[in-house]
Amino acid sequence: MNILAIETSCDETAIAVVDATGDEKSASFTVLGNALLSQIEIHREYGGVFPALAKREHAKNLVPLLDAALEEAELLHEDTQAIPEETRSRVAELLAREPGLAEAFFDFVSECEPPAIDAIAVTAGPGLEPALWVGINFAKALALVWSKPLVAVNHMEGHIMAALATEPPQNTADTPRISTRFNLVIEEVKMPVLALLISGGHTELVLMKTWLTYEMVGQTKDDAVGEAFDKVARMLGLPYPGGPEISRLAEYSRSDLESDSEGRTLEFKLPRPMLADATCDFSFSGLKTAVLYLLKKNPDMSERGKQHVAREFENAVTEVLWKKTARALEETGAQTLVLGGGVSANTHIRRTFAKAMQEEFTAVELRIPSATLTTDNAIMIALAGFYRALREEIIPDDLAASGNRSLA
Ligand code: KG4
Ligand code: ZN
């Protein structure tokens, strides 16, 4: 079945078309079209994502991205379509709050045949509510005009599916890819699955005991880990988003120190919050404050000093994430560990987890998303949407955005 997926939960507007086959035990996906626009440059001057601006940008970008994704998928066929008056007024109502969106929408749908898609999947949360609403209303409007079923996707489930997905061997063979199309499979998943979800808004350990049923094992009591990366980066005078910036600085310091024949150690030590606590919960606000005090005490910190702070911060975060995950693996007996969310792009975290898993949990399979699928995208929403469509979880007309939508 062809799934059209829409993601607008934060600062990426993304639309993908994915051909999905199979079932919950073994599914294959071909990415037919994938269009994504990041708003990072726009939000950078505010030092973070500004919800009203994100919503406006999504509204502006959705129609051009839909056009691009369908075109790439070769599902766009020009034809004049008459839209019944009743449908037109319902759509106009749905899109009324986004200036210009209804006009662009009608221009687009009245000039193409309804495409060969079988379901529309949309992120319903968690995320920024104003941003989520734009995607949801747009998806509802498309479902109405094209008479397609609509399924709601939890963004975090999307991150889990992105990590569980692997590329089948033919993708990695020496033969060049014929087009930008690529294949993914989700199969042979050993249950239960433990997922460490780390993003700008989340830090949680979630257990999937049976397919698509979740239990919360641990979560942050205050800041999400991505948020801590972003705030510490700002303290160091680095631009938004801070995660990749801290990582770059820390990696520089790592190679620098590794080649240091005198074996110099770090100049600063930061706390490892909650390690003594007998739960799988996290806390990152104290760590962030510790960096703040450190920088206040050293107002003229050198570039090298900042590299050390970045490295020590990354070490502290990684150590806490790993120790809590190891505790959760022991407590739950999980057979698969999944890393998901934007922060799982971090090189040091990936390296540390890969090594520690090999040494301490040889029987547990580690699945980490590929680079394309790590940060927010619509392919992951299509993957999760496929399973919801298989279960025929067609959503009601009154589906609402839910900023705090939880997996468990
Ligand atoms: O999942 P995501 O793209 O959006 C949310 O759903 O929040 O995650 C974004 C977060 C940001 O806080 C960003 O700084 C962080 O992921 N991030 C990283 C890295 N790349 C992105 N954090 C650490 N290291 C990275 N390489
Ligand atoms: Zn995300």
Please give the structure tokens belonging to residue 18: 């994915």
- Predicted pLDDT of residue 174: 52
Pocket of ligand 1 (CB under 6 A): 10, 199-201, 226, 229-230, 241-244, 247, 341-343, 345-346, 375-376
pLDDT of residue 262: 47
- What order do you get walking across the sheet with 182-187 strand by strand? 150-154, 119-125, 2-7, 12-22, 26-38, 182-187
Q: What is the DSSP letter of 326?
A: H
pTM of the model: 0.94
The pLDDT, as a whole number, for residue 172 is 54
Q: Which two tokens stand for residue 400?
A: 């609402």
Residues 6+ apart with CB under 8 A from 103: none
pLDDT in tens, the chain (408 residues): 999 999 999 999 999 999 999 999 999 999 999 999 999 889 988 888 889 999 999 999 999 999 999 999 999 999 999 999 999 999 999 999 998 999 999 999 999 999 999 999 999 999 999 999 999 999 999 999 999 999 999 999 999 999 999 998 765 555 444 457 899 999 999 999 999 999 999 999 999 999 999 999 999 999 999 999 999 999 999 999 999 999 999 988 776 655 444 445 557 889 999 999 999 999 999 999 999 999 999 998 888 889 999 999 999 999 999 999 999 999 999 999 999 999 999 999 999 999 999 999 999 999 999 988 999 999 999 999 999 999 999 887 889 999 999 999
- DSSP secondary structure code for residue 11 in this structure: S
In the chain, where the domains are located: 2-165+373-390, 190-368
| Most informative mutation of 246, 343, 368, 373 for ligand 1 (most atoms within 8 A of CB) | 343
pLDDT of residue 287: 97
pLDDT of residue 345: 96
Would the CA dihedral through 380, 50, 45, 239 be positive or negative? negative
For the chain, the distance separating the N- and C-terminal CA atoms, rounded to the nearest angstrom, is: 28
Domains 2-165+373-390 and 190-368 share a fold: yes
Q: What is the CATH number of domain 190-368?
A: 3.30.420.40
Q: Output the CA 229–ligand 1 centroid distance in Å.
A: 8
Which of the ligands is closest to the CA of residue 381? 2
* The CATH fold of domain 2-165+373-390: Nucleotidyltransferase; domain 5 (3.30.420)
Task: Confirm if 381 and 6 have CB atoms less than 8 A apart.
Answer: yes
